[in-house]
Amino acid sequence: MADIIDEANQEYDQHLTAAIANRAKPLPPSPICLNGNCGEKSVGNTSYCCKECREDHEKELRAKRQRKAA
């Protein structure tokens, strides 16, 4: 007979495996700045041309998520 701790560990492993499988996959870097107002070339392995564009785009995405949740 399985110990209650063993059962709990098995259930935890199942939940962890499902969470890992269903996590959002990161987007690959974009060659053009993702900030909709910009259109400049991205710098290095990023998706933005500058820090300000990244911050603006993150604010926009955060606002969209909040509107969707409300």
Report the pLDDT value the prediction gives residue 10, as an integer from 0 to 100.
95
In this structure, are residues 69 and 62 in contact, taking their beta carbons and an 8 Å threshold? no
Instruction: Express each pLDDT in 19-64 by its tens digit.
Output: 999 998 888 888 889 887 788 898 888 889 999 999 998 999 899 9
CB neighbourhood size of 60 (10 A): 14
The token pair at 55 is 């911050």
In this structure, are residues 32 and 40 in contact, taking their beta carbons and an 8 Å threshold? yes
In this structure, are residues 31 and 46 in contact, taking their beta carbons and an 8 Å threshold? no
Polymer length in residues for the chain: 70
